[in-house]
A = this chain, B = another copy of it.
C-alpha cells in the first residue's frame, strides 16, 4: 500500500553538506539564532505531522473528494482535524517574521516543510500552499491598516487566502479578465464578476477566507496594464457574509480533496492592495515563492514515487534476473529490483528526486539570502531558477510517477496501491501557476536573453566553480569534466540562440521548451557533482556516502543522451514551424 516517510536523512545532507546552510545562517542577522540541531528538530516535527496526520488521509481524500451543496464545500473527512493540528503546531507562521507573530525561520526550512506536505497529501496542502505568498504580498504592498487587520489571521492560520486570477476566457492571458471593481465613498471597492479554478475558494477549514482578486477599475486601460489587486474577505467584520458565492466545484483528474471553485463576486466589498492598475506587480511578489512551491510539488511526487517503487521492487518476485548482487542466492524468481530495466528506473527515480531536492532547497536558500542578507547575486539567481524549477520539477514529478507506476505493473493501475493517484495528482502542477510553456518563455525570453545573460552568467559561474572544486578529488574528476563541458555547451547554445534570434525573432519561442529542459538537466548535473564532492564529509562507512557516489556515477553515465536530446531539439527548432 502507498506510504510516505519523510526523507530526513537526505534533507539533512542537503542542509548540512550540500548547502552548508548553518554557516550562512551564522553570518546572517536574521537567522543567527538558528543552528543545525534546531533546524532538524523542526523538520522532525514536520515529518511527524506529514507522516502521521496527512499521509493517512491521502488515499481516502482522493476517493471521497470534496462535496458542494448550496454554496458550501465540505472537504474530505479528516481534513478539518488535520488543519487544526497544523495551526496548533504553528506551521503557518514558520517563515513569517517575528514582528508579524511568525517564527522567523528561513524559507529554506519552509521548502522542506512544503515538500513533505505535498508528498504526503497534495490535495490537502493546496489549502495552505498559497498562504506564504499571500503573506508576502500583503506585507509588501498592502496599506498598514490592512496588514494590521489581516496579516495576523494568515500567520496564525485563522484565515486562509486564495489567489483569484483565472476567468473562463482568461487563463494564461490575465489581460483578458473582466471582473470589475467600483470605488466606494468609504475607500473600499465593490467587486463583481466570475472567477474560475479557484483552489480553496470555499471550504470548511477556516471560518474566513481571504480572496486576493484581480479586477479592473472603471477607468482602467485595457489589457494587463489595467488590472488591480484587491483583498476580498468571505466574512466582513460586521459579521455579515460578503457578496462572494461558490457556485460549483470542478470534478478533476486528481487532487480531488482540493476544492477547485467557481466563485461569483456580486458587489463584494474589497480593498485595494498596492497601487491602482498595478495589480500584476503587486501579485508578482508572490510569484517566485508560489512557483517554487509548485516545483516542490513535483519534488514531493517524485520522492513519493521513488519510495513506493523501491519498496514494491524489493518485495515483488518475478523471473530470474540476468544477474544479482554477489551475496544473493538465486531463487526461482528474483525481486524485480534486480532486473536491469527496473534498476535503471529505480536509479532514475532516486537521482531525480534527490537531485531536485538539492536544487529546490538551493533556490529557497537564495530567496532567504536575497531577502535577509541583501545578497545581490542571490537576488539575480533566484528568479532565474524559478521557471526552471516550476516546469522541470513538475514534469519530472509526472514522469517519475509514471515510471513508478510501471514498476508496479498491473498493480500500479488499480487504485488500491494509490501510485496511480500520485500520477493523477502530479499532472496538474505542469499546468497551473503559469503553464510550463509560459515558464519556458519566461526563462529564455525574459530571464536569459532579456538581461543579456547576466543572471545566466552567474549560474554558469556557480557551476564552473563546482567543477573546479570537484576536479581536486579523483572520484569526482570525471563529474567535474562533464560539468565543465556542459557549461561550455550552455554558453554556446545561448550565444547561438541570441545570434539566430536577430534574423528569426520567433526562434527563441520554438527553442524555449527544450532550453528549459536542458537547464533542468544541467541543474541536476550541478546537484550531483556537488553531492559527490561534499559526500566526502560523511564517514567512510556511511552507506549514504557510497549511495551518493553511486547516484552521481549513474547520472553522469546516462547524462549525455539527455543533453544530446535537448541540444539536438534546440538546433532542430531552427526549422520553421508550420501553422496547422
Q: Which A residues are within 8 Å of any B CB, using their own CB?
A: 166, 169-173, 175-176, 196-197, 222-223, 250-254, 260, 310, 317-319, 322-325, 332-333, 337-344, 346-347, 350, 398, 402, 405-406, 409-410, 412-416, 420, 423-424, 427-428, 430-432, 435-437, 440-441, 505-506, 509-510, 512-514, 547, 550, 553-554, 557-569, 571-573, 575, 577-580
Quick one: closest B residue to A166, CB to CB?
Answer: B410
B575–A557 touching, CB < 8 Å? yes
List residues of chain B with CB within 8 A of the CB of A402. Answer: 398, 427
Question: Cα distance A514–B558 when bound, in Å?
Answer: 12
Contact of A340 (CB < 8 Å), options: B171, B324, B420, B577: B577
23 residue pairs bridging A and B, Cβ less than 8 Å apart = A169-B317, A171-B318, A173-B319, A196-B410, A223-B332, A251-B414, A253-B415, A338-B579, A340-B509, A340-B512, A341-B509, A341-B513, A343-B579, A344-B573, A398-B402, A406-B430, A410-B432, A550-B580, A554-B577, A557-B575, A560-B571, A562-B568, A564-B565
Question: Cα distance A223–B346 when bound, in Å?
Answer: 28
What is the minimal beta-carbon distance from A220 to any residue of chain B, in angstroms?
15
Query: A580 and B318 in contact (CB under 8 A), knowing A251-B415, A406-B435?
Result: no
What is the minimal beta-carbon distance from A347 to any residue of chain B, in angstroms?
6
A423–B431 touching, CB < 8 Å? no
A337–B561 touching, CB < 8 Å? no
What is the minimal beta-carbon distance from A443 to any residue of chain B, in angstroms?
13
List residues of chain B with CB within 8 A of the CB of A176. Answer: 317-318, 332-333
B564–A578 touching, CB < 8 Å? no
Question: Cα distance A501–B5 when bound, in Å?
Answer: 40
B569–A561 touching, CB < 8 Å? yes
Quick one: closest B residue to A579, CB to CB?
Answer: B325
A577–B318 touching, CB < 8 Å? no
B561–A568 touching, CB < 8 Å? yes
B579–A337 touching, CB < 8 Å? yes
Quick one: closest B residue to A432, CB to CB?
Answer: B410
Question: Cα distance A435–B550 when bound, in Å?
Answer: 28
What is the minimal beta-carbon distance from A309 to any residue of chain B, in angstroms?
11
Other contacts beyond A172-B318, A413-B431, A558-B573: 18, CB < 8 A: A166-B410, A175-B319, A222-B332, A250-B414, A251-B416, A253-B423, A253-B424, A322-B509, A337-B580, A338-B579, A340-B577, A341-B440, A410-B431, A410-B432, A412-B431, A550-B580, A560-B572, A561-B564
Query: A406 and B437 in contact (CB under 8 A), knowing A251-B414, A558-B575?
Result: yes
Question: Cα distance A402–B219 when bound, in Å?
Answer: 41
Question: Cα distance A338–B577 when bound, in Å?
Answer: 10
A341–B512 touching, CB < 8 Å? yes
Query: A172 and B409 in contact (CB under 8 A), knowing A324-B579, A343-B577, A343-B580?
Result: yes
Quick one: closest B residue to A172, CB to CB?
Answer: B318
List residues of chain B with CB within 8 A of the CB of A427. Answer: 402, 405, 413, 420, 423
B252–A414 touching, CB < 8 Å? yes
B347–A580 touching, CB < 8 Å? yes
What is the minimal beta-carbon distance from A56 to any residue of chain B, in angstroms?
19
What is the minimal beta-carbon distance from A154 to any residue of chain B, in angstroms?
25
List residues of chain B with CB within 8 A of the CB of A514. Answer: 561
Query: A171 and B410 in contact (CB under 8 A), knowing A253-B415, A423-B253, A506-B340?
Result: yes
B347–A578 touching, CB < 8 Å? yes
